[in-house]
Amino acid sequence: MRVPILAVLILAMALPGCARLRESRINPLNWFGPGREAVVTDLYVRPEDPRALVAQVTLLKVEPYPGGAIVRATGVPPTQGYWEAELVAQPLDESGQLVYEFRVFPPRVAMAAGTPTSRQITVAAAISTIALQGVGTIVVQGASNALSSRR
């Protein structure tokens, strides 16, 4: 009988200390605090992309997946050695056309041309279902041509 009464007395004495713990820095929920309004001084402006457009776009596939679609494109640069390829999205225009530029860095040293198959570069970009709203046509632009896919 003494143990339950003693446990209740200890809990009753410790309970008021919980209020101080809730507002202390020991509580992990207080580590970052609430969001505060901040003044933005400089907006990030995307610098001009130094990469060139791939010479020719040879394949474009838009494949659906549960969260949106994957745009996959294959391009052929003029020589081997092109690197860091990416599909760079341009703003959606009023007609619902989403344009991607197929951008690649040229080789740092002169490279042999090789066969077209050995020069192929494949890149992909994921588009969410929300970003696909209002998109009727997806276009991948190269230096000499462009391929498109309609919804």
Give the whole-angstrom CA distance, residue 146 versus residue 142. 6
> For residue 26, is it within any domain?
no
78 secondary structure, DSSP code = S
42-56, 74-88, 94-108: the lowest-pLDDT one: 42-56
On whether residue 27 sits in a domain, the answer given is no
pLDDT tens-digit map of 110-143: 788 888 888 899 999 999 999 988 888 888 988 8
Residues of the domain holding 123 = 52-150
Tokens 């507002």 -> residue: 23
Q: Is residue 39 part of a domain?
A: no
Asked, for residue 3, whether it belongs to a domain, the answer is no
Does residue 100 form part of some domain? Answer: yes
From 36-40, 58-62, 83-87, the region with the lowest mean pLDDT: 36-40
Asked which of 16-30, 40-54, 67-81 is least confident by mean pLDDT, the reply is: 16-30
Dist CA 138 CA 101 (whole Å): 11
Number of domains observed in the structure of the chain: 1
Q: Which of 85, 80, 122, 76 is nearest to 103 (CA)?
A: 85
Residue 109 lies in a domain: yes
pLDDT value at residue 39: 42
- In whole angstroms, give the CA distance from residue 62 to residue 89: 14
Quick check: is 5 in a domain?
A: no
25: amino acid identity, one letter: R
Residue 2 lies in a domain: no
How much is the mean pLDDT over the chain? 79
pTM reported for the whole predicted model: 0.67
* Placement of tokens 């007395």 in the chain: 9
CA distance 36 to 52: 42
State the DSSP code for 89.
E
Q: List the single range of 1-10, 74-83, 85-94 with lowest mean pLDDT.
A: 1-10
